[in-house]
Amino acid sequence: MAKKRIKKPARLTRVRAAGLSSVHHRVTVPQAHQTAVMGMHQQSQLTHAGKTDHFDVSYVTGLGKTGAALARAILQNCEREYATLQQIFGGITPHRLPFIVQITSDGTGASHSSCMGTDISVGGKSGRAVDFIRSLLVAEADEVFMANFGRGWDCGASNGEGLSRVLANDIYRGVEPAGFISSNSWLNSPRANYVEHTYPSDTHYPSIGCSVLFLNWLRFQLSRSWTAIVASGGPTLAATYQNLIGKSTAWQDFQSVISAHFPAGKNYNLKTDNPFPL
């Protein structure tokens, strides 16, 4: 009997034609590219740059000297960043190490295959600052830490995406391009309550903006450590606040500070996701 041919889905065919071996579903992308498709390139398209204890780094050969320079920059700092994240997440060691990092010619951020996925694609053209490219790797790596850590932190939802960004932005401060700043998206919106309600997406900028402001408020206004904040995690940011502060008034307390300094009805253009302390 002749074998029946199975037709490949059109999307998968297009991705393979572009030289990608997998489509990534957890992303850190700017507001203008919320539907960006990123993934890992085939080995034939890559130049291996080096490895450390926890990272194996390559770059798309077509990037040439730019790719080589970005790879060297990542290799220079990645173990220091790993140690920082490991301390924040209570000393755990994630599964599926090492991180397999590919620097690509993409300009729309970074991605990995799942919250647990240690296969990380970093768009080498996502920003002019080398430290921002480094911060994209931190954002994806800390999502792997939170997936292994648990306690309600979901990298595919607004609370986890917020955490991944604030940790990366604290390690590399002031380097994110305007398109990656999310706080204005929430401040200039109807300001829905994403503290008591977690939004099930990592690309919905109003909910991300609320999350990063809330988490930075905990860290830099209320002076709680990232280690304590992470250890207090829950399915909502309100639950995290309850565990951390011992109060059930997270939304009201946060809103009172935000409303006093950023009254609703105005248009804001913050240059950072961390305006604290106020």
Tens of pLDDT, residue by residue over 252-271, are 999 999 999 999 999 999 99
Closest CA to 209 of 243, 165, 241: 165
Going residue by residue through the chain (278 aa), what tens digit of pLDDT does each one get? Answer: 443 333 333 333 333 334 566 667 888 989 887 666 678 889 999 999 999 999 999 999 999 999 999 999 999 999 999 999 999 999 999 999 999 999 999 999 999 999 999 999 999 999 999 999 999 999 999 999 999 999 999 999 999 999 999 999 999 999 999 999 999 999 999 999 999 999 999 999 999 999 999 999 999 999 999 999 999 999 999 999 999 999 999 999 999 999 999 999 999 999 999 999 99
Q: How far is the C-alpha of 225 from the C-alpha of 168, rounded, in Å?
A: 15
pTM: 0.91
Number of neighbours of residue 245 by Cβ within 10 angstroms: 15
Displacement of CA 54 from its chain's centroid (Å): 19
CB within 8 Å of 23: residues ≥ 6 apart: 11, 12, 15, 37, 38, 39, 113
pLDDT tens-digit profile of 44-97? 999 999 999 999 999 999 999 999 999 999 999 999 999 999 999 999 999 999
Helix axis angle for 158-171 and 130-149, nearest 10°, is 130
Q: At 120, is the secondary structure helix, strand, or coil?
A: strand
Residue 32: Cβ-neighbour burial (10 angstroms; 0-12, 13-18, 19+): exposed
Q: Rounded to an integer, what distance in angstroms lies between the CA atom of residue 254 and that of residue 233? A: 17
Pairing of strands 20-23, 39-41: antiparallel
The set of residues, in sequence order, having a beta carbon less than 8 Å from that of 163 and lying 6+ positions away, is 142, 146, 153, 211, 215, 230
Unique residue bearing structure tokens 């929430």: 186
